Amino acid sequence: MRIESYSFGLMVVEGRRYEQDLIIFPDRVKTNWWRKQGHSVCIEDLKEVREYKPEILIVGTGAYGLMQVEPSLKRELKNEGIEVIAWPTKEASEIFNKYIQEKRRVIGAFHLTC
C-alpha cells in the first residue's frame, strides 16, 4: 500500500481518496481512525496495530504536527519490539513510502488535518 499524495485533509492511497484519519496496513486501509483523545495517541488507540506486530509504526501527526504521541506509548511499543517514528504527516508519508519500498514491515497511522 503506497501513499500517492497528501495535502491538508486528503490522502490518496493506491488510487483511493481518504478525507478522514486512517491507518494503513500492508493489505488494507482502516478509515475513520478515531482516538480516545483527538490530538493525542495512546496505546488504546492502536490495538489492531499491536496485534499485527509491525517492525515500524509511522505516525503522521497532522499538517502542522499538532497531534502528540504519548511517551508511554513509545516506551510500550519499544518494549514490544516496535519502533515508533512520528513526524508531521507530509514528512511521515514520505518516510512510510521509503520503508514500503525497502520491504520493511511497516504500518502508518495518519492524522490528516491540523
Number of domains in the chain: 1
Predicted confidence (pLDDT) at residue 104 exceeds the cutoff of 90 = yes
The residue range of the domain holding 97 is 3-111
Question: Do residues 100 and 1 make contact, with C-beta atoms less than 8 angstroms apart?
Answer: yes
Identify the CA nearest to 113 among candidates 90, 86, 85: 90
pLDDT at position 35: 92
What percent of the chain clears pLDDT 90, i.e. is strictly above it? 96
Q: What pTM, to 2 d.p., does this model score? A: 0.95
Residue 44: give its domain's CATH number: 3.40.1230.10
Amino acid at 107: I
What DSSP designation does 67 have? S
Q: Are 109 and 50 in contact (CB under 8 A)?
A: no
